[in-house]
Amino acid sequence: MTDTAPSSSAAELLRRSLARGRLGHAYLFQGDDLDSLEGAATDLAQTLLCESPLERGHEGQSLRPCGQCSQCRRVLHRTHPDVTWVHPESKMRQIVATQAREVTRILGLRPSEAPRKIAVFVGADRLNSGASNAFLKTLEEPPAGSIILLLTTEPGRVLETILSRCLRLSFGTSGIRIAEPVRAWLRTFAEAARGKSGTLLARYRLLGQLLQTLAEARANIESTLSADSPLARYGDASPEQKDHWERELTAAIEAEYRRHRSEYLIGLHTWLRDVWLVQLGSPGELFLPDLQPASAEIAARLTPQDARLNLEAWESTQRLLHTNVQEALALEVGLLKLRL
């Protein structure tokens, strides 16, 4: 369930789903800023819980909230007992497993006064691996009558296991945002690929370039998070407490690294998509127009099937990295499969 509605139609798609009585149980709202996404989540929650809607649809379902009733006002002020808002709260600014388990517990209870319960994760890209794993079962089989909304400005940092269980709606100008460090790396990668990338040695040079970039990212993450950890400030803590902090730090580093790695892998996937579009004669739709010269040169030596198979091969590599496969081996196999 990963189809993404464009920003201009996201709200209308929700409205049509409500009108037909076919609202999904889990949505990922992506956009350019969290305030706008929280506004969209608030509007949907008010619509679902409004006592005096201005418009009704399937079986009397509210389609447009009044904004004035007690239900609407409490949703707006974050005081409604059946709407749970979840924000990053740990020292690492992450949504952690204890929060995810508490939401699961709350969703399993009967609504206090509304016809359904709603949970909103603000900054879903901050769900660490423990929280994501703790919440997967709930996302897959949510309690009857519950709605789960995940909000993010960086969908590329949300684990694929979470993305695959949500309907994705884009409320921003673009569903894909590529950070400048990733763009800079892509420029270097694309230029290198313009050379004799068909040779085995050239492919391993591209692999080395990617692995070096990822190793630097991990080192930076370890340095930053270690400096922020309580371990660096409370040397006289008990062994048990230190052990707890060490486990938390290790998990945080791994989760943050995987998110950074995902940004680079999605960036490369985006460039491969551009190559495919150029090959098909649609250069006006590129996400990375500054890489068009390299994209055009690569596209000129591919068939449409080759360009499409590149996308499929790299999608497979990204899925594989969400398993226990050895990272370097998966990336090696993935890059060797690309037709460049």
Point out the domain boundary residue: 170, 191, 216.
Answer: 170
Percent of the chain past pLDDT 70, that is, above it, reads 91
User: What Å distances lie between residue 73 and 38, 47, 69, CA to CA?
Assistant: 15, 12, 6
Please tell me the predicted confidence (pLDDT) of residue 199: 76
Residue-level length of the chain: 340
Domain assignment present for 66: yes
Exposure of 86 by Cβ count < 10 A (0-12 exposed, 13-18 middle, 19+ buried)?
buried
Q: How confident is the model at residue 176 (pLDDT cuts 50, 70, 90)?
A: low
121 and 154, same domain (yes or no): yes
pLDDT average, residue stretch 9-21: 72
Contacts of 172 (CB under 8 A, 6+ apart): 7, 30, 31, 32, 33, 36, 153
Domain assignment present for 300: yes
Mean pLDDT is highest, among 1-15, 55-69, 165-179, for 55-69
Q: What are the structure tokens assigned to 294, written together? A: 């390299």
Domain assignment present for 106: yes
CB 207 within 8 A of CB 43: no
CB 93 within 8 A of CB 225: no
Q: What CATH number has the domain bearing residue 112?
A: 3.40.50.300
CA dihedral in degrees (311, 316, 317, 322; nearest 10)? Answer: 140
Point out the domain boundary residue: 170, 188, 222.
Answer: 170
Q: What are the structure tokens assigned to 201, written together? A: 């040695």
pLDDT average, residue stretch 100-117: 91
Per DSSP bridges, beta strands 117-122 and 83-86 are: parallel
Please tell me the predicted confidence (pLDDT) of residue 177: 66
| For residue 88, pLDDT beyond 60 | yes
pLDDT average, residue stretch 40-46: 91
Q: What's the chain's average pLDDT? A: 84
Q: How confident is the model at residue 31 (pLDDT cuts 50, 70, 90)?
A: confident
Name the least confident of 30-39, 58-67, 220-229, 298-307. Answer: 58-67
CB 108 within 8 A of CB 143: yes
Please tell me the predicted confidence (pLDDT) of residue 3: 38
Domain around 89: 4-170
Phi first, then psi: what are they for 288, rounded to 5°?
A: -125, 70
Domain assignment present for 250: yes
254 and 328, same domain (yes or no): yes
157 and 189, same domain (yes or no): no
Q: Which of 7, 52, 55, 17 lies closest to 147 in space, CA to CA?
A: 17
CB 311 within 8 A of CB 338: no
164 and 267, same domain (yes or no): no
State the Cα–Cα distance between residues 102 and 99, nearest whole angstrom.
5
User: What Å distances lie between residue 150 and 31, 173, 306, CA to CA?
Assistant: 11, 18, 35
Q: What are the structure tokens assigned to 19, written together? A: 């009108």
325 and 232, same domain (yes or no): yes
| For residue 314, pLDDT beyond 70 | yes
pLDDT digits (tens, 9 = 90+) for 184-237: 999 999 998 887 666 788 888 899 999 999 999 999 999 988 887 888 777 788
138 and 184, same domain (yes or no): no
Q: What pTM was computed for the model?
A: 0.55
Percent of the chain past pLDDT 90, that is, above it, reads 30
51 and 123, same domain (yes or no): yes
127 and 189, same domain (yes or no): no
Spacing of C-alpha 132 from chain mean position: 11
Please tell me the predicted confidence (pLDDT) of residue 212: 94
188 and 144, same domain (yes or no): no
146 and 217, same domain (yes or no): no
| For residue 5, pLDDT beyond 60 | no
207 and 138, same domain (yes or no): no
Domain assignment present for 306: yes
- Secondary structure, 3-state, the chain: CCCEECHHHHHHHHHHHHHCCCCCCEEEEECCCHHHHHHHHHHHHHHHHCCCCCEECHHHCEEECCCCCHHHHHHHCCCCCCEEEECCCCCCCCECHHHHHHHHHHHCCCCCCCCCEEEEEECHHHECHHHHHHHHHHHHCCCCCEEEEEEECCHHHCCHHHHCCCEEEECCCCCCCCCHHHHHHHHHHHHHHCCCCCCHHHHHHHHHHHHHHHHHHHHHHHHHHHHHCHHHCCCCCCHHHHHHHHHHHHHHHHHHHHHHHHHHHHHHHHHHHHHHHHHCCCHHHCCCHHHHHHHHHHHHCCCHHHHHHHHHHHHHHHHHCCCCCCHHHHHHHHHHHCCC
75 and 204, same domain (yes or no): no
pLDDT digits (tens, 9 = 90+) for 271-307: 998 898 888 887 666 788 889 999 999 999 899 889 8
Domain assignment present for 79: yes
| For residue 84, pLDDT beyond 90 | yes
pLDDT average, residue stretch 63-86: 91
pLDDT average, residue stretch 130-159: 87
State the Cα–Cα distance between residues 208 and 332, nearest whole angstrom.
9
Per the structure, the count of domains in the chain is: 2
Point out the domain boundary residue: 123, 143, 170.
Answer: 170
Domain assignment present for 47: yes
Domain assignment present for 175: no
